[in-house]
Amino acid sequence: MLREIRPAILVLVLLTAITGLAYPLAMTAIAGVIFPKQAQGSLIEKDGKVIGSALIGQEFKEDKYFHGRPSATVAPDPNDSSKTVPAPYNAANSGGSNLGPTSKALNDRVKEDVEKLKAENPPASVPVDLVTTSGSGLDPDISPDAVVDTQNGVPFFASLVTSAPTVVLVHHCHREQWPVAGRLLGRFGWFLESKVAPRVHRGAPYVTVSEASKRDLVALGVDGHQIGRAHV
């Protein structure tokens, strides 16, 4: 009987060592070399001190900050260990509220938050994820209604990385400025700005500051009907 069991035990031990120890260690080591910042938790530092993580939201209360996404995480009540109290973005206790769409408490809370946000910004619409929590209760991200791609010579090609509507802000074209960067880099930069960017942002609205800049954009192939002028 031992003869029949031994191969199974050996296979179990071998696969456990490979998949449970060697593989995780190898992936952790590779990730630490290729993506050191992400492997360490996407930590944010200021003046040499860790102040947070890009993966975990914060509760902003001052008017100078953007609103963060709500969080449903809790922590033990310091006065009664059998109860919990709200503790937004508590990374030690990730989780959602478990309230369903028919929950009166959830609907009342969302309605209150929507009314508060509309009172602060009457003309603006309220994105769904600005009044709802994520499954982890920690996510900091809010879906943008639109992205402003500020093209100051170097295009960011926001249209390629987001599904949100993109508005391209161009102060002026840089045909005369690019040669300062050197012959090779100047030609490459102007190629990106003049040839690639208009094609990537085809169909996107543009905003510029002068009729001269608008004419330059039209000369690069941008539809003049897509270009608005900001009065500064």
**How many domains, the chain?**
3
Residue 196: is its pLDDT beyond 90?
yes
Under the banding of pLDDT at 50, 70 and 90, the label for residue 194 is very high
Q: Could you tell me if 35 and 73 lie in one domain?
A: no
Q: Are residues 112 and 153 in the same domain?
A: no
Q: Is residue 34 part of a domain?
A: yes
Q: Judge whether 84 lies within some domain.
A: yes
- Nearest Cα neighbor of 131 from 106, 103, 99 is 106
Q: What is the pLDDT of residues 160-171, one digit of tens each?
A: 887 777 889 998
Domain contains 141:
no
C-alpha dihedral (5, 6, 12, 15), degrees to nearest 10: -140
Tokens representing 37? 């910042």
pLDDT value of position 124: 67
Query: How many angstroms separate the CA atoms of 40 and 8, rounded?
Result: 38
Summarised one tens digit per residue, pLDDT across range 97-153 is 888 888 898 899 899 989 988 887 776 677 787 888 888 888 887 777 667 888 887
Q: Looking at the domain assignment, is residue 103 inside a domain?
A: yes
Please tell me whether residues 56 and 35 are part of one structural domain: no
Q: Give the predicted TM-score (pTM) of the model.
A: 0.49
Considering the domain architecture, whether residues 53 and 81 belong to the same structural domain is answered as yes
Q: Are residues 88 and 68 in the same domain?
A: yes
Asked which of 130, 156, 174 is the last residue of a domain, the reply is 130
20 and 60 both lie in a single domain: no
Name the maximum alpha-carbon separation found in the chain. Answer: 90
Q: Are strands 206-208 and 166-169 parallel, antiparallel or unpaired?
A: parallel
Give the residue from 100, 130, 160 where a domain finishes: 130
pLDDT of residue 72: 85
Model pLDDT, residue 214: 92
In a domain, 178, yes or no: yes
Same domain, 56 and 114: yes
Predicted confidence at residue 163, as pLDDT, reads 76
122 and 159 together in one domain: no
Q: Which residue range forms the structural domain that includes residue 186? A: 147-229
Report yes or no on 139 lying in a domain: no
Question: Both 126 and 56 in a single domain?
Answer: yes
Name the residue with tokens 């599904």: 163
- Shared domain for 34 and 56, answered yes or no, is no
- Tell me the average pLDDT across 8-33: 92
Q: Following CA atoms 156, 161, 165, 171 in sequence, which dihedral angle do they give, to the nearest 10 degrees?
A: 0
| pLDDT tens string 217-229 | 999 999 988 898 7
Contact at 8 Å (CB) between 120 and 103? no
Q: What is the dihedral of CA 151, 224, 172, 203, to 10 degrees?
A: 10
Whether residue 220 is found in the same domain as residue 190: yes
Q: CA angle, corner 27, sides to 24 and 30, nearest 5? A: 150
Q: What is the mean pLDDT of the chain?
A: 85
Amino acid 193: pLDDT: 92
User: Would you say residue 136 lies in a domain?
Assistant: no
Q: Are residues 123 and 186 in the same domain?
A: no
Task: Examine residue 142 and state whether it is found in any structural domain, yes or no.
Answer: no
